[in-house]
Amino acid sequence: MLDISKLRLNEKVDLSNYKSMQFTFHKDRFLTFNKVMTVFGIVLLAILFLPWTQIVQGKGFVTTLQPNQRPQNIESAISGRIEKWYVKEGQIVNKGDTILYISEVTDKFFDPDLLQRAQSQITAKNFSVESYTSKVKALNVQIEALTEERKLKLEQAVNKLMQANLMVESDSIELEAAKTQVTIAERQYERTESLEKEGLKAVTDLEGKRLQLQNSQAKVVSQKNKLLASRNEVINAQIEISSIKASYQDKISKAESEKFTALSSQYDTEAQRTKLETDLSNFTVRSGMRYITAPQDGFINRALQSGIGETFSAGTKIVSIMPIDIDLAVETFVDPLDLPLLHPGEPIRIIFDGWPAIFFSGWPNLSYGTYGGQIVAVERTASPNGKFRVLVEPDPKEGEWPDVIRAGSGARTLALLNDVPVWYEVWRQINGFPPDYYKPQDANTSVNKNQNTGK
């Protein structure tokens, strides 16, 4: 009560009648109270100088260390209709065990003999390919025969041309000889005619020379005709060579055209056969997809699709499975302010939901019900909740985690940092300062090694 009034309560009321006043103003009790408060102050002062371990707290849940050991949903790669279930929820299955059988709902896969019909089409295409291959071989033989025949015909025509040229040369020589004979006959006729006029030769001799001259002139005309005929033979031989080349080129071109047509049909048929083989392989694989099997040993958590005759599309989640053999880990989330204080390999304490624990913040050695772990990885980007994800695995130096822990259970983590006095931690908490920047001993050791080696 503030002493702002001039009236005194003790002057009007006898305070000694009250028990509280009797207790307060009693000298022995007052001394005892002072001693207690003095001891309490000394103890509190001593506590302020005790070592206090700073911690970084986080909340998360139990998960698995390997991605393939986490709960997964088995999806159907094809659209279908549920025909039969082979498992029930809570059942343990081995890798490859059939979970359920589905039937087709796509009309192009309704045919029960689809695989046999596709195989028959492939067999027919194989026969077509063999036929086109045989035709191409026959055309190649035909082209070779025509090429060889053209070669022989051309050789024959060239020989005939050479003979014609020789005949022209021979006829030219004979024509020149005939012309020479005409010249000689003319000279003989002229001499005989002069001698006949002089009376030295008879008229019959002159007529004989005239006949001889006329025969020589006729022979020249005959040789000219023969020479022209020979030259015509040369021209005919040249024409025949050109005709042979053109004729056989046309035949060979036609055969090659048929060959390329056969090759085109062969390649097209091979492409169709390849497509059919691909379809057959797809049909075979798709038929195997009607049986949905377990990808690994696991525990059937929940059937996401139920009933018989229920249809679904491709990619629909059918059943949830949890692997049996898993390496447990804890996925916890810390504030960005505490992220620089966490490093892979550092120890961390974990409190699992459902396991009673007594934890003394600052004195982890006195804690009970906590389990040891060590940091495996610290995420480099923030999660959607604004915090950073930290993955923790069991500490091999401490006891194992409880066997009955399941993935998804809640967990709290407490990362141990530096040891500071209690008064410093109280002062830090009052002012809202972050924990001291902490660097692991391994990092310091590596820095010292680098300095010693001159790196």
Q: Do residue 191 and residue 85 come from a single domain?
A: no
User: Hey, is 63 helix, strand or coil?
Assistant: strand
- Residues near 48 by Cβ (< 8 Å), separated by ≥ 6? 421, 422, 423, 426
Q: Does any domain span residue 105?
A: no
Q: Do residue 214 and residue 256 come from a single domain?
A: yes
Cβ neighbours around 317 below 10 Å, total: 14
User: Which pLDDT score, from 0 to 100, does residue 58 have?
Assistant: 85
Q: How far from each other are the two terminal CA atoms of the chain, in whole angstroms?
A: 72
User: Which pLDDT score, from 0 to 100, does residue 447 have?
Assistant: 33
Cβ neighbours around 86 below 10 Å, total: 14
Q: Does any domain span residue 414?
A: yes
User: Which pLDDT score, from 0 to 100, does residue 22 have?
Assistant: 63
Q: Would the CA dihedral through 107, 113, 114, 117 be positive or negative?
A: negative
Evaluate if pTM is beyond 0.75. no
Q: Name the token pair of 225.
A: 């005709």
Say if residues 101 and 310 touch (Cβ distance below 8 Å): no
For residue 315, what are the domain limits?
71-97+294-323
- Nearest to residue 110, comparing CAs of 77, 75, 80? 80
The C-alpha atoms of residue 213 and residue 188 are separated, in whole angstroms, by 9
User: Which pLDDT score, from 0 to 100, does residue 2 have?
Assistant: 53
Q: Does any domain span residue 252?
A: yes
Q: Would the CA dihedral through 320, 326, 328, 332 be positive or negative?
A: negative
Q: Does any domain span residue 104?
A: no
User: Which pLDDT score, from 0 to 100, does residue 205 have?
Assistant: 74
Q: Does any domain span residue 168?
A: yes
Low-confidence ranges of the chain (pLDDT < 50): 1, 360, 366, 443-455
| Residue-level length of the chain | 455
Element (H, E) at 110: none
Q: Do residue 131 and residue 244 come from a single domain?
A: yes
Pairing of strands 311-312, 328-334: unpaired
Q: Does any domain span residue 7?
A: yes
CA atoms within 13 A on the CB side of 338: 22
User: Which pLDDT score, from 0 to 100, does residue 15 have?
Assistant: 65
Q: Do residue 319 and residue 436 come from a single domain?
A: no
User: Which pLDDT score, from 0 to 100, does residue 25 have?
Assistant: 61
Q: Do residue 319 and residue 349 come from a single domain?
A: no
Q: Do residue 157 and residue 190 come from a single domain?
A: yes
Q: Would the CA dihedral through 375, 376, 381, 383 be positive or negative?
A: negative
CATH number at residue 301: 2.40.50.100
Q: Do residue 428 and residue 370 come from a single domain?
A: yes
Q: Does any domain span residue 102?
A: no
Q: Do residue 55 and residue 128 come from a single domain?
A: no
Pairing of strands 98-104, 72-75: unpaired
User: Which pLDDT score, from 0 to 100, does residue 36 have?
Assistant: 80
Q: How many domains does the chain divide into?
A: 4
Q: Does any domain span residue 109?
A: no
The C-alpha atoms of residue 451 and residue 74 are separated, in whole angstroms, by 54
User: Which pLDDT score, from 0 to 100, does residue 453 have?
Assistant: 35
Q: Do residue 199 and residue 246 come from a single domain?
A: yes
User: Which pLDDT score, from 0 to 100, does residue 445 have?
Assistant: 41
